[in-house]
Structure 1
Amino acid sequence: MTDYFGYAGKTVVVTGAASGMGRALTEILVDLGADVHALDRVESPVAGVATSIIADLGDKASIDAAFAELPTRIDAFFGVAGISGVHNSFLETVTVNFIANKYVTDTYLVDRVAQGGSITFVTSNGGVRWETPAIREELVPFARGDWDDVVRVATELEAEFGSIPGSLGYILSKRLLNYWVAEQVAPLADLRKIRINAVLPAMTVSGMLPEFAEMKGGRDVVEAEVGPAGRLAESVDMARVLAFLGSDLAGYVSGVHLSVDYGMNGLEVAGLRPDRLSWTLRSVLARQAA
Protein backbone atom coordinates (compact mmCIF):
# COMPACT_ATOMS: atom_id res chain seq x y z
CA MET A 1 0.00 0.00 0.00
CA THR A 2 1.28 3.47 -0.88
CA ASP A 3 2.03 5.70 2.11
CA TYR A 4 0.15 8.76 0.88
CA PHE A 5 0.51 10.69 4.14
CA GLY A 6 4.27 10.19 4.24
CA TYR A 7 4.69 10.28 8.01
CA ALA A 8 6.44 6.93 8.37
CA GLY A 9 9.83 7.45 10.01
CA LYS A 10 9.47 11.23 10.10
CA THR A 11 10.12 13.39 13.16
CA VAL A 12 7.02 15.19 14.34
CA VAL A 13 6.42 17.52 17.30
CA VAL A 14 2.97 18.13 18.80
CA THR A 15 2.19 20.66 21.54
CA GLY A 16 -0.87 20.05 23.68
CA ALA A 17 -0.40 16.34 23.06
CA ALA A 18 -1.84 15.08 26.35
CA SER A 19 -5.51 15.81 25.74
CA GLY A 20 -8.18 16.89 23.28
CA MET A 21 -7.17 17.63 19.70
CA GLY A 22 -3.48 17.23 20.45
CA ARG A 23 -3.93 13.77 21.93
CA ALA A 24 -6.18 12.67 19.06
CA LEU A 25 -3.61 13.95 16.55
CA THR A 26 -0.75 12.24 18.39
CA GLU A 27 -2.60 8.93 18.26
CA ILE A 28 -3.12 9.28 14.50
CA LEU A 29 0.51 10.23 13.86
CA VAL A 30 1.85 7.33 15.92
CA ASP A 31 -0.44 4.99 14.01
CA LEU A 32 0.90 6.40 10.73
CA GLY A 33 4.44 5.53 11.76
CA ALA A 34 5.80 8.95 12.78
CA ASP A 35 8.34 9.46 15.55
CA VAL A 36 6.21 11.78 17.65
CA HIS A 37 7.62 14.06 20.33
CA ALA A 38 4.81 15.18 22.63
CA LEU A 39 4.83 18.48 24.57
CA ASP A 40 2.31 19.44 27.22
CA ARG A 41 1.97 20.56 30.83
CA VAL A 42 1.61 16.88 31.80
CA GLU A 43 2.89 13.59 30.42
CA SER A 44 1.20 12.42 27.24
CA PRO A 45 -0.80 9.22 27.82
CA VAL A 46 -0.44 8.13 24.18
CA ALA A 47 1.44 4.86 23.84
CA GLY A 48 4.25 4.83 21.30
CA VAL A 49 5.45 8.44 21.44
CA ALA A 50 9.19 8.89 21.04
CA THR A 51 9.37 11.34 23.96
CA SER A 52 6.91 13.07 26.27
CA ILE A 53 8.22 16.42 27.46
CA ILE A 54 6.59 18.59 30.12
CA ALA A 55 6.63 22.27 29.17
CA ASP A 56 4.83 25.49 30.05
CA LEU A 57 4.22 27.57 26.93
CA GLY A 58 3.69 30.64 29.07
CA ASP A 59 7.32 30.49 30.21
CA LYS A 60 10.15 31.20 27.77
CA ALA A 61 12.68 29.30 29.89
CA SER A 62 10.44 26.23 29.92
CA ILE A 63 10.14 26.37 26.13
CA ASP A 64 13.92 26.64 25.80
CA ALA A 65 14.39 23.64 28.09
CA ALA A 66 11.89 21.61 26.07
CA PHE A 67 13.59 22.35 22.76
CA ALA A 68 16.93 21.39 24.28
CA GLU A 69 15.45 17.88 24.50
CA LEU A 70 13.94 17.83 21.01
CA PRO A 71 15.65 16.68 17.80
CA THR A 72 17.52 19.29 15.78
CA ARG A 73 15.68 18.17 12.64
CA ILE A 74 11.87 18.27 12.56
CA ASP A 75 9.74 17.25 9.58
CA ALA A 76 6.37 18.47 10.85
CA PHE A 77 5.42 20.70 13.77
CA PHE A 78 1.89 21.04 15.12
CA GLY A 79 1.14 23.88 17.54
CA VAL A 80 -2.09 22.66 19.11
CA ALA A 81 -1.81 23.86 22.73
CA GLY A 82 -3.84 26.85 23.82
CA ILE A 83 -5.96 28.30 26.61
CA SER A 84 -9.48 29.75 26.59
CA GLY A 85 -8.77 32.89 28.59
CA VAL A 86 -11.89 32.36 30.71
CA HIS A 87 -9.83 31.89 33.89
CA ASN A 88 -6.64 33.55 32.65
CA SER A 89 -5.49 37.14 32.37
CA PHE A 90 -5.33 39.00 29.08
CA LEU A 91 -1.52 38.81 28.97
CA GLU A 92 -1.41 35.13 29.96
CA THR A 93 -3.83 34.26 27.18
CA VAL A 94 -2.01 36.25 24.51
CA THR A 95 1.31 34.78 25.67
CA VAL A 96 0.32 31.11 25.48
CA ASN A 97 -1.82 31.37 22.35
CA PHE A 98 0.32 33.70 20.27
CA ILE A 99 3.62 34.91 21.72
CA ALA A 100 4.84 31.39 22.52
CA ASN A 101 4.03 30.09 19.03
CA LYS A 102 5.77 33.04 17.41
CA TYR A 103 8.79 32.56 19.66
CA VAL A 104 9.00 28.84 18.95
CA THR A 105 8.92 29.48 15.21
CA ASP A 106 11.34 32.41 15.18
CA THR A 107 13.81 30.85 17.61
CA TYR A 108 13.72 27.15 16.76
CA LEU A 109 11.56 26.07 13.82
CA VAL A 110 13.23 28.30 11.23
CA ASP A 111 16.43 26.37 11.92
CA ARG A 112 15.07 22.89 12.58
CA VAL A 113 12.18 22.24 10.18
CA ALA A 114 13.49 20.24 7.25
CA GLN A 115 13.39 21.09 3.56
CA GLY A 116 9.78 20.77 2.43
CA GLY A 117 8.57 20.35 6.00
CA SER A 118 5.41 21.76 7.52
CA ILE A 119 4.20 23.91 10.40
CA THR A 120 0.54 23.82 11.35
CA PHE A 121 -1.14 25.84 14.09
CA VAL A 122 -4.53 25.50 15.72
CA THR A 123 -6.10 28.93 15.90
CA SER A 124 -9.89 29.29 16.15
CA ASN A 125 -13.04 30.23 14.29
CA GLY A 126 -13.13 32.92 16.98
CA GLY A 127 -10.24 34.51 15.11
CA VAL A 128 -11.97 35.03 11.76
CA ARG A 129 -12.12 38.47 10.11
CA TRP A 130 -8.44 38.97 10.91
CA GLU A 131 -7.91 39.94 7.27
CA THR A 132 -10.30 42.90 7.24
CA PRO A 133 -8.40 46.22 7.05
CA ALA A 134 -9.51 47.68 10.39
CA ILE A 135 -8.76 44.51 12.35
CA ARG A 136 -5.52 43.84 10.51
CA GLU A 137 -4.33 47.36 11.34
CA GLU A 138 -4.57 46.75 15.08
CA LEU A 139 -2.83 43.38 14.79
CA VAL A 140 0.33 44.69 13.11
CA PRO A 141 2.02 46.15 16.24
CA PHE A 142 1.67 42.79 18.03
CA ALA A 143 3.20 40.83 15.17
CA ARG A 144 6.50 42.72 15.21
CA GLY A 145 9.55 42.13 17.39
CA ASP A 146 10.45 39.46 19.92
CA TRP A 147 8.74 38.04 23.03
CA ASP A 148 9.39 41.13 25.15
CA ASP A 149 8.23 43.49 22.41
CA VAL A 150 4.84 41.76 22.11
CA VAL A 151 4.44 41.68 25.90
CA ARG A 152 5.14 45.43 25.95
CA VAL A 153 2.44 46.13 23.35
CA ALA A 154 -0.09 44.05 25.30
CA THR A 155 0.86 45.73 28.56
CA GLU A 156 0.53 49.19 27.00
CA LEU A 157 -2.95 48.32 25.76
CA GLU A 158 -4.02 47.41 29.29
CA ALA A 159 -2.41 50.58 30.62
CA GLU A 160 -4.57 52.53 28.17
CA PHE A 161 -7.88 50.75 28.77
CA GLY A 162 -7.47 49.07 32.16
CA SER A 163 -7.71 45.35 32.86
CA ILE A 164 -8.87 43.45 29.75
CA PRO A 165 -10.73 40.13 30.10
CA GLY A 166 -8.86 37.01 29.10
CA SER A 167 -11.76 36.13 26.81
CA LEU A 168 -10.91 39.15 24.66
CA GLY A 169 -7.29 38.04 24.84
CA TYR A 170 -8.43 34.77 23.32
CA ILE A 171 -10.03 36.48 20.32
CA LEU A 172 -7.03 38.77 19.86
CA SER A 173 -4.51 35.94 20.14
CA LYS A 174 -6.29 33.80 17.58
CA ARG A 175 -6.62 36.72 15.17
CA LEU A 176 -2.92 37.41 15.68
CA LEU A 177 -1.92 33.84 14.96
CA ASN A 178 -4.04 33.79 11.80
CA TYR A 179 -2.49 37.05 10.60
CA TRP A 180 1.03 35.98 11.48
CA VAL A 181 0.63 32.62 9.69
CA ALA A 182 -0.20 34.52 6.51
CA GLU A 183 2.86 36.74 6.98
CA GLN A 184 5.16 33.72 7.27
CA VAL A 185 4.18 32.00 4.01
CA ALA A 186 6.73 33.70 1.77
CA PRO A 187 9.68 33.81 4.22
CA LEU A 188 9.33 30.12 5.07
CA ALA A 189 8.94 29.16 1.42
CA ASP A 190 12.08 31.11 0.58
CA LEU A 191 13.91 29.51 3.48
CA ARG A 192 13.46 25.80 2.72
CA LYS A 193 10.05 25.48 1.04
CA ILE A 194 8.49 25.05 4.47
CA ARG A 195 4.69 25.14 4.44
CA ILE A 196 2.66 26.88 7.15
CA ASN A 197 -1.10 26.58 7.68
CA ALA A 198 -3.79 27.16 10.30
CA VAL A 199 -6.78 25.12 11.39
CA LEU A 200 -9.68 27.17 12.76
CA PRO A 201 -11.88 24.86 14.85
CA ALA A 202 -15.51 25.42 15.66
CA MET A 203 -16.62 24.68 19.22
CA THR A 204 -15.16 21.27 19.99
CA VAL A 205 -15.72 18.70 22.71
CA SER A 206 -12.38 19.00 24.50
CA GLY A 207 -10.92 20.05 27.83
CA MET A 208 -11.74 23.71 27.17
CA LEU A 209 -15.43 23.14 26.39
CA PRO A 210 -16.63 23.65 30.00
CA GLU A 211 -14.83 27.01 30.10
CA PHE A 212 -16.34 28.15 26.80
CA ALA A 213 -19.76 26.98 28.01
CA GLU A 214 -19.27 28.99 31.20
CA MET A 215 -18.39 32.07 29.17
CA LYS A 216 -21.40 31.69 26.86
CA GLY A 217 -23.92 30.95 29.61
CA GLY A 218 -24.15 27.17 29.65
CA ARG A 219 -23.71 24.02 27.59
CA ASP A 220 -27.24 24.38 26.21
CA VAL A 221 -26.30 27.76 24.70
CA VAL A 222 -23.23 26.25 23.08
CA GLU A 223 -25.19 23.32 21.66
CA ALA A 224 -27.79 25.69 20.22
CA GLU A 225 -25.07 27.16 17.96
CA VAL A 226 -23.88 23.96 16.27
CA GLY A 227 -25.11 25.01 12.81
CA PRO A 228 -25.58 22.65 9.85
CA ALA A 229 -23.59 19.80 11.44
CA GLY A 230 -26.23 19.31 14.09
CA ARG A 231 -23.58 18.43 16.67
CA LEU A 232 -20.48 19.79 18.31
CA ALA A 233 -17.19 18.85 16.73
CA GLU A 234 -15.12 16.10 18.32
CA SER A 235 -11.37 16.37 18.87
CA VAL A 236 -10.74 13.71 16.24
CA ASP A 237 -12.53 15.86 13.63
CA MET A 238 -9.79 18.46 14.09
CA ALA A 239 -7.00 15.91 14.38
CA ARG A 240 -7.81 14.38 10.99
CA VAL A 241 -7.59 17.79 9.30
CA LEU A 242 -4.33 18.60 11.09
CA ALA A 243 -2.84 15.28 10.01
CA PHE A 244 -3.79 16.05 6.40
CA LEU A 245 -2.32 19.57 6.36
CA GLY A 246 1.01 18.41 7.75
CA SER A 247 1.26 15.46 5.37
CA ASP A 248 2.61 14.85 1.88
CA LEU A 249 -0.99 14.93 0.64
CA ALA A 250 -0.98 18.70 1.26
CA GLY A 251 2.44 19.25 -0.27
CA TYR A 252 1.28 22.27 -2.29
CA VAL A 253 -0.84 23.78 0.48
CA SER A 254 0.49 26.77 2.39
CA GLY A 255 -1.09 29.89 3.86
CA VAL A 256 -4.45 28.19 4.30
CA HIS A 257 -6.77 29.21 7.14
CA LEU A 258 -9.11 26.22 7.20
CA SER A 259 -12.33 26.70 9.17
CA VAL A 260 -13.35 23.25 10.37
CA ASP A 261 -16.89 24.20 11.31
CA TYR A 262 -19.21 22.42 8.87
CA GLY A 263 -19.71 25.62 6.90
CA MET A 264 -20.68 28.02 9.68
CA ASN A 265 -18.13 30.66 8.70
CA GLY A 266 -19.12 30.26 5.06
CA LEU A 267 -22.70 31.06 5.98
CA GLU A 268 -21.56 34.27 7.69
CA VAL A 269 -19.41 35.28 4.72
CA ALA A 270 -22.39 34.71 2.43
CA GLY A 271 -24.63 36.84 4.63
CA LEU A 272 -26.83 33.90 5.58
CA ARG A 273 -25.97 34.18 9.26
CA PRO A 274 -25.10 37.26 11.36
CA ASP A 275 -21.42 38.15 11.31
CA ARG A 276 -20.56 38.32 15.01
CA LEU A 277 -16.81 38.95 14.77
CA SER A 278 -16.33 41.97 12.53
CA TRP A 279 -15.58 44.28 15.46
CA THR A 280 -12.15 45.62 16.39
CA LEU A 281 -10.76 45.10 19.86
CA ARG A 282 -10.31 48.83 20.37
CA SER A 283 -13.96 49.53 19.53
CA VAL A 284 -15.08 47.03 22.18
CA LEU A 285 -12.68 48.40 24.79
CA ALA A 286 -13.72 51.97 24.03
CA ARG A 287 -17.41 51.08 24.53
CA GLN A 288 -16.63 49.35 27.81
CA ALA A 289 -14.65 52.34 29.03
CA ALA A 290 -17.40 54.85 28.10
Structure 2
Amino acid sequence: MTDYFGYAGKTVVVTGAASGMGRALTEMLVDLGADVYALDRVEAPVAGVTKSIIANLGEQASIDAAFAEIPERIDAFFGIAGISGVHNTFLETITVNFISNKYVTDTYLVERVAAGGSISFVTSNGGLRWESPAVREELEPFVRGGDWDDLVRIATEYEAEFGSIPGSLGYILSKRLLNLFVAERVSPFADLRKIRVNAVLPAMTVSGMLSEFAEMKGGQDKVEAEVGPAGRLAESVDMAKVLAFLGSDLASYVSGSHVSVDYGMNSLQLAGLEPDRLSWTLRGVLSRQAA
Protein backbone atom coordinates (compact mmCIF):
# COMPACT_ATOMS: atom_id res chain seq x y z
CA MET A 1 0.00 0.00 0.00
CA THR A 2 1.35 3.43 -0.94
CA ASP A 3 1.95 5.85 1.93
CA TYR A 4 0.35 8.89 0.35
CA PHE A 5 0.55 11.03 3.51
CA GLY A 6 4.28 10.43 3.89
CA TYR A 7 4.50 10.88 7.66
CA ALA A 8 6.19 7.56 8.42
CA GLY A 9 9.46 8.14 10.23
CA LYS A 10 9.22 11.93 10.03
CA THR A 11 9.69 14.30 12.95
CA VAL A 12 6.52 16.22 13.72
CA VAL A 13 5.83 18.83 16.41
CA VAL A 14 2.31 19.58 17.69
CA THR A 15 1.48 22.32 20.19
CA GLY A 16 -1.73 21.97 22.18
CA ALA A 17 -1.42 18.19 21.86
CA ALA A 18 -3.13 17.28 25.14
CA SER A 19 -6.72 18.10 24.19
CA GLY A 20 -9.17 19.03 21.47
CA MET A 21 -8.01 19.18 17.88
CA GLY A 22 -4.36 18.99 18.96
CA ARG A 23 -4.95 15.65 20.63
CA ALA A 24 -7.04 14.39 17.71
CA LEU A 25 -4.26 15.33 15.28
CA THR A 26 -1.58 13.78 17.49
CA GLU A 27 -3.47 10.49 17.55
CA MET A 28 -3.71 10.53 13.74
CA LEU A 29 -0.04 11.34 13.27
CA VAL A 30 1.02 8.51 15.59
CA ASP A 31 -1.18 6.13 13.59
CA LEU A 32 0.44 7.40 10.39
CA GLY A 33 3.89 6.50 11.71
CA ALA A 34 5.25 9.94 12.60
CA ASP A 35 7.67 10.61 15.44
CA VAL A 36 5.53 13.12 17.33
CA TYR A 37 6.85 15.65 19.83
CA ALA A 38 3.75 16.74 21.75
CA LEU A 39 3.81 20.12 23.51
CA ASP A 40 1.22 21.34 26.01
CA ARG A 41 0.88 22.72 29.52
CA VAL A 42 0.10 19.19 30.71
CA GLU A 43 1.22 15.73 29.67
CA ALA A 44 -0.29 14.70 26.33
CA PRO A 45 -2.40 11.56 27.00
CA VAL A 46 -1.67 9.94 23.64
CA ALA A 47 0.02 6.56 23.52
CA GLY A 48 2.90 6.29 21.09
CA VAL A 49 4.19 9.87 21.03
CA THR A 50 7.95 10.08 20.82
CA LYS A 51 8.09 12.68 23.57
CA SER A 52 5.56 14.67 25.60
CA ILE A 53 6.97 18.07 26.59
CA ILE A 54 5.46 20.40 29.17
CA ALA A 55 5.55 23.98 27.91
CA ASN A 56 3.85 27.30 28.55
CA LEU A 57 3.56 29.24 25.31
CA GLY A 58 3.00 32.41 27.27
CA GLU A 59 6.61 32.35 28.46
CA GLN A 60 9.63 32.74 26.18
CA ALA A 61 11.92 30.77 28.52
CA SER A 62 9.49 27.84 28.57
CA ILE A 63 9.43 27.75 24.75
CA ASP A 64 13.22 27.81 24.62
CA ALA A 65 13.40 24.94 27.11
CA ALA A 66 10.88 22.94 25.07
CA PHE A 67 12.78 23.33 21.80
CA ALA A 68 15.96 22.21 23.53
CA GLU A 69 14.23 18.80 23.72
CA ILE A 70 13.21 18.73 20.04
CA PRO A 71 15.48 17.50 17.21
CA GLU A 72 17.31 19.98 15.01
CA ARG A 73 15.39 18.70 11.97
CA ILE A 74 11.60 19.07 11.93
CA ASP A 75 9.56 17.81 8.98
CA ALA A 76 6.19 19.24 9.97
CA PHE A 77 5.10 21.74 12.61
CA PHE A 78 1.51 22.25 13.76
CA GLY A 79 0.80 25.33 15.89
CA ILE A 80 -2.55 24.49 17.44
CA ALA A 81 -2.39 25.74 21.04
CA GLY A 82 -4.39 28.86 21.85
CA ILE A 83 -6.65 30.57 24.36
CA SER A 84 -10.06 32.19 23.95
CA GLY A 85 -9.30 35.35 25.86
CA VAL A 86 -12.58 35.14 27.78
CA HIS A 87 -10.76 34.77 31.11
CA ASN A 88 -7.44 36.25 30.01
CA THR A 89 -6.06 39.74 29.57
CA PHE A 90 -5.51 41.29 26.17
CA LEU A 91 -1.74 40.88 26.46
CA GLU A 92 -1.96 37.26 27.61
CA THR A 93 -4.19 36.42 24.67
CA ILE A 94 -2.00 38.15 22.09
CA THR A 95 1.09 36.52 23.61
CA VAL A 96 -0.14 32.92 23.52
CA ASN A 97 -2.02 33.13 20.23
CA PHE A 98 0.34 35.25 18.16
CA ILE A 99 3.61 36.34 19.77
CA SER A 100 4.56 32.78 20.72
CA ASN A 101 3.88 31.46 17.20
CA LYS A 102 5.86 34.26 15.56
CA TYR A 103 8.70 33.71 18.01
CA VAL A 104 8.77 29.94 17.41
CA THR A 105 8.73 30.50 13.66
CA ASP A 106 11.43 33.15 13.53
CA THR A 107 13.67 31.62 16.19
CA TYR A 108 13.38 27.88 15.52
CA LEU A 109 11.33 26.87 12.48
CA VAL A 110 13.26 29.03 10.04
CA GLU A 111 16.37 27.01 10.95
CA ARG A 112 14.95 23.57 11.65
CA VAL A 113 12.13 22.79 9.23
CA ALA A 114 13.50 20.50 6.55
CA ALA A 115 13.48 21.20 2.82
CA GLY A 116 9.99 20.55 1.50
CA GLY A 117 8.60 20.54 5.05
CA SER A 118 5.45 22.21 6.27
CA ILE A 119 4.15 24.63 8.89
CA SER A 120 0.44 24.71 9.71
CA PHE A 121 -1.28 27.04 12.16
CA VAL A 122 -4.76 26.91 13.60
CA THR A 123 -6.22 30.40 13.50
CA SER A 124 -10.00 30.92 13.47
CA ASN A 125 -12.96 31.95 11.37
CA GLY A 126 -13.09 34.76 13.92
CA GLY A 127 -9.93 36.04 12.25
CA LEU A 128 -11.51 36.44 8.81
CA ARG A 129 -11.28 39.67 6.79
CA TRP A 130 -7.64 39.96 7.74
CA GLU A 131 -6.89 40.73 4.11
CA SER A 132 -9.12 43.81 3.81
CA PRO A 133 -7.01 46.99 3.55
CA ALA A 134 -8.39 48.66 6.69
CA VAL A 135 -7.91 45.58 8.84
CA ARG A 136 -4.49 44.81 7.39
CA GLU A 137 -3.32 48.34 8.19
CA GLU A 138 -3.82 47.82 11.92
CA LEU A 139 -2.22 44.37 11.81
CA GLU A 140 1.01 45.31 10.04
CA PRO A 141 2.86 46.88 13.03
CA PHE A 142 2.51 43.59 14.92
CA VAL A 143 3.47 41.34 12.02
CA ARG A 144 6.50 43.51 11.21
CA GLY A 145 7.54 43.59 14.86
CA GLY A 146 10.84 42.14 15.96
CA ASP A 147 11.67 39.89 18.90
CA TRP A 148 9.50 38.81 21.83
CA ASP A 149 10.05 41.98 23.88
CA ASP A 150 9.36 44.22 20.90
CA LEU A 151 6.05 42.48 20.22
CA VAL A 152 5.04 42.73 23.88
CA ARG A 153 5.83 46.45 23.71
CA ILE A 154 3.71 46.91 20.58
CA ALA A 155 0.75 45.09 22.16
CA THR A 156 1.10 47.01 25.42
CA GLU A 157 1.22 50.38 23.67
CA TYR A 158 -1.75 49.43 21.49
CA GLU A 159 -3.86 48.60 24.53
CA ALA A 160 -2.72 51.73 26.37
CA GLU A 161 -4.40 53.86 23.70
CA PHE A 162 -7.77 52.61 24.91
CA GLY A 163 -7.07 52.06 28.61
CA SER A 164 -8.01 48.40 28.54
CA ILE A 165 -9.10 45.89 25.89
CA PRO A 166 -11.03 42.69 26.68
CA GLY A 167 -9.17 39.46 26.04
CA SER A 168 -12.02 38.31 23.81
CA LEU A 169 -11.23 41.14 21.37
CA GLY A 170 -7.58 40.23 21.70
CA TYR A 171 -8.59 36.79 20.43
CA ILE A 172 -9.98 38.26 17.20
CA LEU A 173 -6.91 40.44 16.73
CA SER A 174 -4.51 37.56 17.42
CA LYS A 175 -6.18 35.28 14.88
CA ARG A 176 -6.20 37.99 12.22
CA LEU A 177 -2.52 38.58 12.96
CA LEU A 178 -1.69 34.92 12.51
CA ASN A 179 -3.60 34.81 9.21
CA LEU A 180 -1.63 37.76 7.83
CA PHE A 181 1.59 36.28 9.21
CA VAL A 182 0.98 33.07 7.25
CA ALA A 183 0.44 35.01 4.02
CA GLU A 184 3.57 37.09 4.51
CA ARG A 185 5.75 34.03 5.17
CA VAL A 186 4.83 32.17 1.95
CA SER A 187 7.53 33.66 -0.28
CA PRO A 188 10.36 33.76 2.30
CA PHE A 189 9.82 30.11 3.21
CA ALA A 190 9.50 29.07 -0.43
CA ASP A 191 12.80 30.81 -1.17
CA LEU A 192 14.39 29.30 1.93
CA ARG A 193 13.85 25.57 1.41
CA LYS A 194 10.51 25.25 -0.37
CA ILE A 195 8.78 25.07 3.02
CA ARG A 196 5.00 25.32 2.89
CA VAL A 197 2.99 27.39 5.37
CA ASN A 198 -0.81 27.26 5.74
CA ALA A 199 -3.63 28.05 8.14
CA VAL A 200 -6.78 26.24 9.21
CA LEU A 201 -9.64 28.52 10.25
CA PRO A 202 -12.09 26.50 12.35
CA ALA A 203 -15.72 27.31 12.85
CA MET A 204 -17.07 26.82 16.38
CA THR A 205 -15.72 23.45 17.46
CA VAL A 206 -16.52 21.09 20.31
CA SER A 207 -13.31 21.44 22.31
CA GLY A 208 -12.06 22.55 25.70
CA MET A 209 -12.74 26.21 24.86
CA LEU A 210 -16.37 25.70 23.81
CA SER A 211 -17.79 26.66 27.21
CA GLU A 212 -15.78 29.88 27.16
CA PHE A 213 -17.03 30.80 23.69
CA ALA A 214 -20.58 30.01 24.84
CA GLU A 215 -20.07 32.33 27.80
CA MET A 216 -18.85 35.06 25.46
CA LYS A 217 -21.84 34.65 23.15
CA GLY A 218 -24.39 34.53 25.96
CA GLY A 219 -25.13 30.83 26.23
CA GLN A 220 -24.83 27.45 24.54
CA ASP A 221 -28.10 28.05 22.69
CA LYS A 222 -26.54 31.08 20.97
CA VAL A 223 -23.63 28.93 19.83
CA GLU A 224 -25.87 26.17 18.50
CA ALA A 225 -27.98 28.71 16.61
CA GLU A 226 -24.97 29.48 14.39
CA VAL A 227 -24.10 26.01 13.13
CA GLY A 228 -24.88 26.90 9.51
CA PRO A 229 -25.53 24.40 6.70
CA ALA A 230 -23.80 21.54 8.54
CA GLY A 231 -26.57 21.45 11.13
CA ARG A 232 -24.06 20.62 13.87
CA LEU A 233 -21.01 22.01 15.59
CA ALA A 234 -17.66 20.88 14.26
CA GLU A 235 -15.77 18.18 16.14
CA SER A 236 -12.07 18.35 16.91
CA VAL A 237 -11.42 15.45 14.55
CA ASP A 238 -12.93 17.47 11.66
CA MET A 239 -10.12 19.99 12.09
CA ALA A 240 -7.48 17.33 12.66
CA LYS A 241 -8.26 15.69 9.32
CA VAL A 242 -7.64 18.93 7.43
CA LEU A 243 -4.46 19.63 9.37
CA ALA A 244 -3.16 16.12 8.66
CA PHE A 245 -3.74 16.75 4.95
CA LEU A 246 -2.05 20.17 4.88
CA GLY A 247 1.07 18.90 6.59
CA SER A 248 1.34 15.81 4.39
CA ASP A 249 2.85 14.94 1.02
CA LEU A 250 -0.68 15.07 -0.40
CA ALA A 251 -0.54 18.86 -0.08
CA SER A 252 2.91 19.23 -1.64
CA TYR A 253 1.80 22.20 -3.81
CA VAL A 254 -0.36 23.90 -1.18
CA SER A 255 1.04 26.97 0.54
CA GLY A 256 -0.48 30.25 1.67
CA SER A 257 -3.91 28.68 1.98
CA HIS A 258 -6.37 29.83 4.62
CA VAL A 259 -8.80 26.93 4.85
CA SER A 260 -12.10 27.85 6.49
CA VAL A 261 -13.36 24.57 7.93
CA ASP A 262 -16.88 25.82 8.50
CA TYR A 263 -19.12 23.88 6.10
CA GLY A 264 -19.42 26.92 3.82
CA MET A 265 -20.46 29.62 6.29
CA ASN A 266 -17.77 32.06 5.13
CA SER A 267 -18.66 31.38 1.49
CA LEU A 268 -22.27 32.29 2.20
CA GLN A 269 -21.14 35.62 3.64
CA LEU A 270 -18.83 36.33 0.71
CA ALA A 271 -21.67 35.58 -1.70
CA GLY A 272 -23.99 37.97 0.13
CA LEU A 273 -26.32 35.17 1.15
CA GLU A 274 -25.64 35.75 4.85
CA PRO A 275 -24.73 39.02 6.62
CA ASP A 276 -21.02 39.71 6.98
CA ARG A 277 -20.43 40.48 10.66
CA LEU A 278 -16.64 40.52 10.43
CA SER A 279 -15.70 43.52 8.28
CA TRP A 280 -14.65 45.79 11.12
CA THR A 281 -11.38 47.00 12.56
CA LEU A 282 -10.61 46.58 16.23
CA ARG A 283 -9.53 50.19 16.43
CA GLY A 284 -12.91 51.25 15.01
CA VAL A 285 -14.84 49.18 17.56
CA LEU A 286 -12.78 50.46 20.48
CA SER A 287 -13.04 54.06 19.31
CA ARG A 288 -16.83 53.84 19.13
CA GLN A 289 -16.98 52.28 22.60
CA ALA A 290 -14.87 55.09 23.99
CA ALA A 291 -16.99 57.83 22.37
1:191 counterpart = 2:192: yes
Q: Which runs of 5+ in 2 are unaligned?
A: none
Aligned to 2:247: 246
Shift of 1:151: 1.1
| Superposed counterparts of 1:3-82, under 5 Å | 3-82=3-82
Aligned to 1:171: 172
Which portions of structure 1, spanning 4 or more consecutive aligned residues, are displaced by more than 6 angstroms?
Answer: none
Q: Which whole-Å CA distance do the structure 1 matches of 2:147 and 2:23 have between them?
A: 30
Q: Which whole-Å CA distance do the structure 2 matches of 1:10 and 1:201 have between them?
A: 26
Aligned to 1:143: 143
Shift of 1:157: 1.4
Please give the per-residue CA displacement for 1:116-170, whole angstroms capped at 9, x wherever unaligned: 0000000000000000000000000011222111111111112111110000000
Q: Which whole-Å CA distance do the structure 2 matches of 1:236 and 1:168 have between them?
A: 27
SS of the equivalent of 2:161 reads helix
Aligned to 1:124: 124
- What is the identity percentage for the equivalent residue pairs of Structure 1 and Structure 2? 85
Q: Which whole-Å CA distance do the structure 1 matches of 2:204 and 2:234 have between them?
A: 6
| AA matched with 2:22 | G
Aligned to 1:285: 286
1:257 counterpart = 2:241: no
1:161 counterpart = 2:162: yes
Q: Which whole-Å CA distance do the structure 1 matches of 2:197 and 2:101 have between them?
A: 12
Q: Which whole-Å CA distance do the structure 1 matches of 2:221 and 2:51 have between them?
A: 39
SS of the equivalent of 2:119 reads strand
Q: Which whole-Å CA distance do the structure 1 matches of 2:147 and 2:287 have between them?
A: 28
Q: Which moved more, 1:115-124 or 1:140-149?
A: 140-149
| AA matched with 2:158 | L
Q: Which whole-Å CA distance do the structure 2 matches of 1:152 and 1:266 have between them?
A: 36
Q: Which whole-Å CA distance do the structure 2 matches of 1:131 and 1:198 have between them?
A: 14
Q: Which whole-Å CA distance do the structure 2 matches of 1:18 and 1:276 have between them?
A: 32
Q: Which whole-Å CA distance do the structure 2 matches of 1:150 and 1:126 have between them?
A: 22
| AA matched with 1:15 | T
Q: Which whole-Å CA distance do the structure 2 matches of 1:99 and 1:271 have between them?
A: 34
SS of the equivalent of 1:115 reads strand
SS of the equivalent of 1:191 reads helix
Shift of 1:64: 0.1
Q: Which whole-Å CA distance do the structure 1 matches of 2:42 and 2:218 have between them?
A: 29
What is the TM-score with the length of structure 2 in the denominator?
0.99
Q: Which whole-Å CA distance do the structure 1 matches of 2:37 and 2:169 have between them?
A: 31
SS of the equivalent of 2:68 reads helix
SS of the equivalent of 2:173 reads helix
CA RMSD of aligned residues (A): 0.4
Q: Which whole-Å CA distance do the structure 1 matches of 2:284 and 2:190 have between them?
A: 36
What is the TM-score with the length of structure 1 in the denominator?
1.00
Shift of 1:39: 0.1
SS of the equivalent of 1:43 reads coil
Q: Which runs of 5+ in 1 are unaligned?
A: none
Shift of 1:241: 0.2
Aligned to 1:213: 214
Q: Which whole-Å CA distance do the structure 1 matches of 2:270 and 2:94 have between them?
A: 26
| AA matched with 1:128 | L
Q: Which whole-Å CA distance do the structure 2 matches of 1:168 and 1:110 have between them?
A: 30
